[in-house]
Structure 1
Amino acid sequence: MELTRAQEEEYRSRVRGCLLGGATGDALGAPVEFMTLSGIRAEHGDHGVREYVADYSTGKPRYGLITDDTQMTLFTMEGLIRAGLRSDRGTGFHPVGILHQSYLTWHETQTVREPSGEWPGWLQGERWLYEQRAPGNTCLSALAMSVAREGSWQKYGGPAVNNSKGCGGVMRSAPIGLLPPHWNGVDSAIFTWAAEAAGLTHGHPTGKLASGALALLVHRLVVGEDLAAALDTVMAELSRHDRHEETTTALRRAREAAASESPSAETVERLGGGWIAEEALAIAVYCALARSRPEDFLDALSLAVTHSGDCDSTGAICGNILGALHGETVLPPQLTFEVEGRGTMLQLADDFVWEFTASRLLHGEYGPFTRWTVRYRGG
């Protein structure tokens, strides 16, 4: 089934909204990530963080800098496009191995100063992605170990050998849920792909299941469900998986808090710090529910980053959720216009939509033969 023109425009808006919304939340929360709530309020007032804080690491102020959360999200999206191109060659859509390759590409950006040219895809050539922004140690070590274990970056797909449930898996999983609305009916597959992709770096079941939950939540929003209905679908899917209890309990607490309490940073902190997967997801969901109207997008992001925890990750996930729910028109211009890498993100978002709605015009086993296969080589 093909999308109508109106449906494709709505879909594109959701993809862009999810990607840029996540980046905006990430950049808003990054400068206050290691501060206490009282320290944040002392600097920003009781209303919390509502504008970018300048970074002076290069000697001049820079605003809207993203972190490893958005970096890895972009590599997730590029990997999915390359997986789509590969499925056209008759192998079926199986993204996890190619996502591992994409994450290994990201790993190189964190360990060298400039592109080596050895990795597939155009994203590895974006020099601005080679800055280290407090990358997660679990992601770095798991990816380094996978290269050492296999002996080559060309062999990939093995799960992480650790028991971590840090939020580094869930914070990059939203693009898997952005697979288009005419893919309706593949909920369990999307959940499983995201869980397995998270498992490439985080071995604990909760780290994987929370990642699957976010991807499925985003997909149900893309299909057109409201936030409450989408969460119902997620809870039902979680119940079918062993050791789901931590993630299910965290989401239930978030929903109950949003329904019974006025939005506050104190409520956010009762849900946890966001350093581990189920807490990061729960905080983001709570903030999205508490400030769910389109006009409240900035209020939701501010709530998601104003706490004594992993502010950039909770801001990013909240932005992913509400961007997918409402589309790009809810993005606050006063922040989004200067988020780092916006041009790259828009290119990637549009390419993602084209791959999954118009691939017949770009590539095929018997043609057409366009430079798309060069742009996304190595699938």
Structure 2
Amino acid sequence: MTATPGGGIWGRTEQQDFRSRVRGCLLGGAIGDALGAGVEFDSLDAIRAAHGPQGVTDYVPAYGRRGAVTDDTQMTLFTVDGLIRAHVRRDTGAWHPPTDVHAAYLRWAATQRDWGPDERRTEDGWLARQEWLYSQRAPGRACLTGLADSRMGTLDAPKNPDSKGCGTVMRSAPFGLLVGWEPQLVFQLAAECAAQTHGHPTGYLAAGAFAVIVHAVARGESLDAAVQRAMAHLAAHPGHEETTNALKHALGAVRQGLPTAERVESLGEGWTAEEALAMGVYCALVAEDVRHGLLLAVNHGGDSDSTGSVCGNLLGVMHGETALPPNWVAELEGRATILELADDFAMEMTQGPALHSPATPAGSPGWLTRYPRT
């Protein structure tokens, strides 16, 4: 057994459950992203006209293939990469996770402008060398402009101070997987990293709320209780009203009857952070199973890939990887990379000292090649 970051003990069963939840969170989010990718800019009427009265019921081609993911999944993976690098760098005495996540987002930004990985840049680590990530998949303007130079936005001096797009929420589930952290620290880190691209309070507070929801569910709380916990955290922050009200509307919609696409649309379109969060949360709350929840989350006239991604993150962390429809997992773009990164994150969180601590001479040099301390 190994010690947890929070001071507890990881037994084998706990490690297996955690790995399953991490895999489920990342794969589920990517599946929801891919289900919505082909209809992201279509109205509900157009979706039904093209795919039948039930709308999309499976992957539809996007970006030249079935199961293609978008910038939502790309940035989520780089969030994970940054969090692993932060924990590895802690050995050096440097401990400022927002800086490491920002560096990871800059590596993502390079994938949006470069033809492919530069093998000479060993300090970039292994994720930035995955060629399939070097593809523009409708990235948000605020994400691109916020990362166009090396200055890191902060809560005191954010990038794009008027932007509250959903580009903050769709990438923030990994902060919630820091299960050894206290919830208020998870909230704070997600908000700080959101301010690197989106400076409106709703943009970064919605990211913090989403991270706390994932965190509570990963620790075994019900989704309803997790949402209540997030609203309690939100209440302490100026400018929380839009996000709090959006979550209240999501909870209210659950009590209004059977879930429908029209009820999902009553919560918004998902282009803004609070709407994407509310829509994804609602669909996860009313989901009969993973398949039902994800299809509900993408069949609407709005930002279908982002709402699908949020819902998929939640359902995946709730139920673990084995609850995901295997046919969707099999066709998912980048599946091998996502699984490898998920397992690396789970291993870092549960067994990190054995991999790279200066006090552990038998650590893995290969780990520091994958996740350099530089």
Q: State the Cα distance separating 1:260 from its structure 2 match.
A: 1.9
Q: State the Cα distance separating 1:28 from its structure 2 match.
A: 0.3
Tell me which residue corresponds to 1:72.
75
Q: Which secondary structure does the structure 1 equivalent of 2:38 belong to?
A: helix
Q: Are 1:271 and 1:283, in contact at CA under 8 Å, matched by a contact in 2?
A: yes
- Structure 1, residues 151-209: CA drift from partner, whole Å, max 9, x if none? xxxx78773143100000110000010113xx15x100000000110110001000000
Q: Does 1:199 align with 2:195?
A: yes
Measure, in 1, the Cα distance between the counterparts of 2:139 and 2:74.
Answer: 9
Measure, in 1, the Cα distance between the counterparts of 2:91 and 2:255.
Answer: 45
**Correspondences of 1:1-379 after superposition (within 5 Å):** 1-55=8-62, 57=64, 62-92=65-95, 94-117=96-119, 118=121, 120-144=124-148, 146-147=149-150, 150=151, 159-180=158-179, 183=180, 186-291=182-287, 293=288, 296-368=289-361, 369-371=363-365, 372-379=367-374
CA RMSD of aligned residues (A): 1.5
Measure, in 2, the Cα distance between the counterparts of 1:168 and 1:108.
Answer: 17
Measure, in 2, the Cα distance between the counterparts of 1:206 and 1:161.
Answer: 12
Q: State the Cα distance separating 1:91 from its structure 2 match.
A: 3.4
Runs (4+) of structure 1 exceeding 4 A deviation are 155-158
Q: State the Cα distance separating 1:286 from its structure 2 match.
A: 0.6
- Structure 1, residues 206-225: CA drift from partner, whole Å, max 9, x if none? 00000001111001011110
% identical equivalent positions: 53
Q: Are 1:190 and 1:216, in contact at CA under 8 Å, matched by a contact in 2?
A: yes
Q: State the Cα distance separating 1:20 from its structure 2 match.
A: 0.1
Q: Taking structure 1 as reference, are residues 340 and 11 closer, same or farther at Cα in structure 2, changes over 3 Å only?
A: same
Q: Which secondary structure does the structure 2 equivalent of 1:32 belong to?
A: coil
Measure, in 2, the Cα distance between the counterparts of 1:257 and 1:54.
Answer: 31
TM-score (structure 2 length as normaliser): 0.93
Name which of structure 1's ranges 109-118 and 338-347 shifts more when overlaid on structure 2. Answer: 109-118
Q: Taking structure 1 as reference, are residues 253 and 55 closer, same or farther at Cα in structure 2, changes over 3 Å only?
A: closer
- Structure 1, residues 303-350: CA drift from partner, whole Å, max 9, x if none? 000000000000000000110111111101111111000000010000
Q: Are 1:101 and 1:156, in contact at CA under 8 Å, matched by a contact in 2?
A: no
Q: State the Cα distance separating 1:48 from its structure 2 match.
A: 2.3
Q: State the Cα distance separating 1:56 from its structure 2 match.
A: 6.7
Where does the alignment leave 5 or more consecutive residues of structure 2 unmatched? 1-7
- Structure 1, residues 51-74: CA drift from partner, whole Å, max 9, x if none? 1112474xxxx2100000000000
Q: Are 2:153 and 2:159, in contact at CA under 8 Å, matched by a contact in 1?
A: no
Q: Which secondary structure does the structure 2 equivalent of 1:241 belong to?
A: coil
Q: Which amino acid aligns with 2:138?
A: A
Measure, in 2, the Cα distance between the counterparts of 1:254 and 1:56.
Answer: 31
Measure, in 1, the Cα distance between the counterparts of 2:280 and 2:63.
Answer: 28
Q: State the Cα distance separating 1:288 from its structure 2 match.
A: 0.6
Q: Are 1:89 and 1:364, in contact at CA under 8 Å, matched by a contact in 2?
A: no
Q: Which amino acid aligns with 2:144?
A: L
TM-score (structure 1 length as normaliser): 0.92
Q: Which amino acid aligns with 1:241?
A: H
Q: Which amino acid aligns with 1:309?
A: G
Q: Are 2:280 and 2:307, in contact at CA under 8 Å, matched by a contact in 1?
A: yes
Q: Taking structure 1 as reference, are residues 242 and 74 closer, same or farther at Cα in structure 2, changes over 3 Å only?
A: same
Where does the alignment leave 5 or more consecutive residues of structure 1 unmatched? none
Measure, in 1, the Cα distance between the counterparts of 2:338 and 2:371.
Answer: 15
Measure, in 2, the Cα distance between the counterparts of 1:323 and 1:259.
Answer: 23
Measure, in 2, the Cα distance between the counterparts of 1:159 and 1:375.
Answer: 30
Q: Are 1:48 and 1:303, in contact at CA under 8 Å, matched by a contact in 2?
A: no
Q: Taking structure 1 as reference, are residues 209 and 55 closer, same or farther at Cα in structure 2, changes over 3 Å only?
A: closer
Q: Which secondary structure does the structure 1 equivalent of 2:327 belong to?
A: helix
Measure, in 1, the Cα distance between the counterparts of 2:280 and 2:215.
Answer: 16
Q: Are 2:142 and 2:160, in contact at CA under 8 Å, matched by a contact in 1?
A: no
Measure, in 2, the Cα distance between the counterparts of 1:163 and 1:364.
Answer: 42
How many residue pairs get matched? 361
- Structure 1, residues 120-164: CA drift from partner, whole Å, max 9, x if none? 2211100000011111111001110x33xx4xxxx7877314310
Q: Which secondary structure does the structure 1 equivalent of 2:331 belong to?
A: coil
Measure, in 1, the Cα distance between the counterparts of 2:193 and 2:359.
Answer: 31
